[in-house]
Amino acid sequence: MVTLGGRTALVTGASSGIGAAVAEALARSGARVGLVARRKDRLEQVLARCREHSPDSAMWAADLADLDGVAGLAAEVERAFGAVDVLVNNAGMPKRRRVQDLAPADAEEVMRLNYLSPVRLTLALLPGMVARGHGRLVAVGSVAARLGPPHEAAYAASKAALTAFWESMAVDLDGTGVRVHVVQPALITGTELFTLPGNEEPLSDVSEGRPPQEVAEAVLDLLGSERFEQYVPGWFHEMTAGKAADVDAFVAGVKEWTRDRLRP
């Protein structure tokens, strides 16, 4: 596994779930970690755990959906840390709602946090990485980016946009020393994603989900590799390959699965 002694890392959405697990794993690997999210009290708890391994870690309470504040936040972190070597864009929100129940503002809200905000943060920190000839840009996407799950059109589109941006960016940055990775999780429990208000109950059975630490391990694996994308759990990779081989059969299968799940 990768060691990050002397490196700095910024993790968004670090107050709970996957982001908290990733921040702690990065701190254990020796990185000085910066944590961002809105809830100060929750960030303080995660920061205390990170400081057990990496005492100079720090936190910033910020609303990343406020796009006008994102570049200022990036500049503040760079000033405090000197540089950001690893950026993990993890903050995100669900939007579990049938498309018939979706308002335009819902789609815009989820796109703002899940896509536009990470793009702004990345573009703000990228010049420093390119100038130093070193950097790692990680996105926490979702299998929804590749599989178009039911009742999640707005969410899936935001993660697909993020993944597409990351894929092109990986090619553009070839030879710069800045590497680009995306981790695509599914059914990770012990996070708040499946219980946040304003969302339908998940259609999938989340009782046998995987812990956020598995995503953190995948992020550390990716950071030590040249690989672009990793699914957690890994078997979703085969599902995306099956979809690519026959999209019509895949969509027909998902319709059937959804009808079964909704049957009283």
Contact between 18 and ligand NAP per CB under 6 A: yes
Contact between 13 and ligand NAP per CB under 6 A: yes
Looking at the annotation, which residues are catalytic?
A: 155
Of 34, 92, 135, 150, the one binding ligand NAP (CB under 6 A) is: 92
Interface pattern 180-219 for ligand NAP (x via CB under 6 A):
-----xxxx--xxx------------------x-------
Q: State which residue, 9 or 140, has the beta carbon closest to ligand NAP.
A: 140
Whole-angstrom distance, CA of residue 153 vs CA of residue 94: 10
Contact between 42 and ligand NAP per CB under 6 A: yes
Q: State which residue, 8 or 117, has the beta carbon closest to ligand NAP.
A: 117
- The DSSP line for the chain is ----TT-EEEEESTTSHHHHHHHHHHHHTT-EEEEEES-HHHHHHHHHHHHTT-TT-EEEE--TT-GGGHHHHHHHHHHHHS--SEEEE-------B-GGG--HHHHHHHHIIIIIHHHHHHHHHHHHHHHHT-EEEEEE--THHHH--TTBHHHHHHHHHHHHHHHHHHHHTTTTTEEEEEEEE-SB-SSSTTT-TTSPPPSS--TTPBPHHHHHHHHHHHHTSS--EEEESTTHHHHHHHHHH-HHHHHHHHHHHHHHHH--
Contact between 22 and ligand NAP per CB under 6 A: no
Of 10, 59, 87, 93, the one binding ligand NAP (CB under 6 A) is: 93
Instruction: In angstroms, give the least distance from the CB of 234 to ligand NAP.
Output: 14
Q: State which residue, 130 or 203, has the beta carbon closest to ligand NAP.
A: 203
Of 37, 156, 178, 180, the one binding ligand NAP (CB under 6 A) is: 37
Q: State which residue, 34 or 212, has the beta carbon closest to ligand NAP.
A: 212
User: Site residues (CB under 6 A) for ligand NAP?
Assistant: 13-19, 37-39, 42, 63-65, 90-93, 113, 140, 142, 185-188, 191-193, 212
